[in-house]
Amino acid sequence: MSNIKKKTINGMVWTVAERLSLQAVHMLISIVLARLLEPSEFGLIGMLAIFTSIAQSLLDSGFGSALIQKKNATQTDATSIFYFNLFVGILLAGILSLAAPLIADFYQQPSLIALTRALSLSMIINAFGLVQLSLMNKNLQFKRHFSVSISAVVFSGMAGIVAALSGFGVWSLVIQTLSHSLIRSVLLWVFNKWRPTQHFSFSALKTMYSFGSKLLIAGLIETVFKNIYQTFIGKEYSATDLGYY
C-alpha cells in the first residue's frame, strides 16, 4: 500500500473519530449547561447565530480551501492569506461592533449590544488560526487536528460550565465561545510550525480567488439557510422560545 493511501485511510479514521467524539462531548456539555442556564439565555445567543456565522464565512473567504487545493502552494501564498484573514477579521469585528445597536433594535433586546461586541472578538482570534488549520489539513495531519478540536471543545466547555456555576448567566456561553476560539488558535500554532513572513502578495491572492470565491458563495448560501429559522423565531417570538428551539 502506498504511503499516500495509508495517510488517506488514516485521515478518514481520525476524521470519523473526531466527528463522533465532538458530537458526544458537545451533547454532554450542552446537557450540563441546559441544567444551569435559562432557555432565554440560549435564545439570546441563538439570535446572533446568523450574524456571527456569516461573518465567519466571510472571514475565510474560501482562501483556506484554495490553499489546500493548490498543488504548489508557496510560503508567499500562505503568508498572503494569513494577513488577508487578519485584516478581514479585524474589519468584521469592527462592523459587528458598530452594527450591535441595530441588531439589538431588530430583536428588541438591548442586552444584545454587549453580547454582539464581545462575540465579535472571535473573528480576530479565529483569523490567527485559519492558515494553520488549512496547512494541517493539506498535510493530512488529521491526528493533530483531532487533538486540537477535542481539546478546544473540552476546555472551553469546562470554562462555560464553571462560568455558569459562578452565576455569569448568558455570559457563560460567550466565555465558552471565546475560550474555544482562543484555545483552538493557540493549539494550532503549537502543533503547526508554519509561521508567516513579511512577503505579502496581491498576485498570490488573485491566483486563488477564482476557486475560493465559489466556495465563499456556496458557504454563505448554506449559512443563511441553516440559520434563517433561528432568525425568524427570534424576531417573531421570544428569546425563551428560541432557546427551546
**What is the rounded average pLDDT of the residues 8-24?**
75
For all residues of the chain together, what is the average pLDDT?
Answer: 87
Would you state the pLDDT for residue 146?
84
Q: What is the DSSP letter of 198?
A: S
CA distance 211 to 219: 13
Would you state the pLDDT for residue 244?
74
- Do 99 and 92 touch, CB atoms closer than 8 A? no
Helix 75-107, helix 49-60: angle, nearest 10:
160
Assess whether pLDDT exceeds 60 at residue 1: no
The grid coordinates listed for 222 are 448554506
CA distance 133 to 139: 10
Would you state the pLDDT for residue 214?
78
Assess whether pLDDT exceeds 80 at residue 6: no
Would you state the pLDDT for residue 11?
64
The grid coordinates listed for 218 are 456556496
Would you state the pLDDT for residue 4?
60
Number of H helices, E strands in the chain: 12, 0
Would you state the pLDDT for residue 23?
87
pLDDT in tens, 192-227: 888 998 888 888 888 887 777 777 888 888 888 888
Would you state the pLDDT for residue 199?
84
Nearest to 242 by CA among 122, 1, 6, 234: 234
**What is the rounded average pLDDT of the residues 127-132?**
92
What percentage of the chain exceeds 90 in pLDDT?
A: 49
What residues have CB less than 8 Å from 12, skipping those under 6 apart? none
pLDDT in tens, 72-125: 888 998 999 999 999 999 999 999 999 999 999 999 999 999 999 999 999 999
Would you state the pLDDT for residue 60?
78
- Do 62 and 216 touch, CB atoms closer than 8 A? yes
Would you state the pLDDT for residue 2?
58
Nearest to 76 by CA among 131, 18, 26: 131
CA distance 55 to 139: 27
